[in-house]
Amino acid sequence: MYKVSFYTPQSKVSPIKVFLDSCQPSLRTKILRQLKYVEGYGLDPAIPNIKKITGTSLWELRILGRDNIRIICVSLSDKEVKVLHIFKKKKQKTPAKELNLALKRYREYLTYDT
């Protein structure tokens, strides 16, 4: 079993939690179901809708269909997965600004966690 946690800036509310709270209940259910798979199996490329982002340590979970949500995660030691960013994807390619934000949060996490 893996532990899934949300990125939370020091002494602030998690932007992931804010996104989830703003979602329609049906979309929130889809997102939480996807995170349950990660809890059970980790970030395994054999699982549908999960892929490694080339050139980074980040993983992308895809919720396809009308909603088209992307969840950017990173695998940490001791079977822990940190959700860094979640956003609604509107174009074919994942925008660089979304990936840069996830990388920034990862670096931030590494500096205040160590």
Q: Which residues of the chain have pLDDT under 50?
A: none
pLDDT digits (tens, 9 = 90+) for 68-100: 899 999 999 889 999 999 999 887 778 889 999
Distances 92 to 54, 88, 111 between C-alpha atoms, Å: 16, 12, 33
Residue 53, domain extent: 3-113
Distances 94 to 29, 38, 83 between C-alpha atoms, Å: 23, 21, 17
Q: Which pLDDT score, from 0 to 100, does residue 113 have?
A: 63
Q: Which pLDDT score, from 0 to 100, does residue 72 have?
A: 96
Q: Which pLDDT score, from 0 to 100, does residue 77 have?
A: 83
Q: Which pLDDT score, from 0 to 100, does residue 27 have?
A: 92
- What pTM did the predictor assign? 0.90
As for how many domains the chain has, the answer is 1
The CATH number assigned to the domain holding 27 equals 3.30.2310.20
Q: Which pLDDT score, from 0 to 100, does residue 10 have?
A: 83
CB 15 within 8 A of CB 72: no
Q: Which pLDDT score, from 0 to 100, does residue 110 have?
A: 87
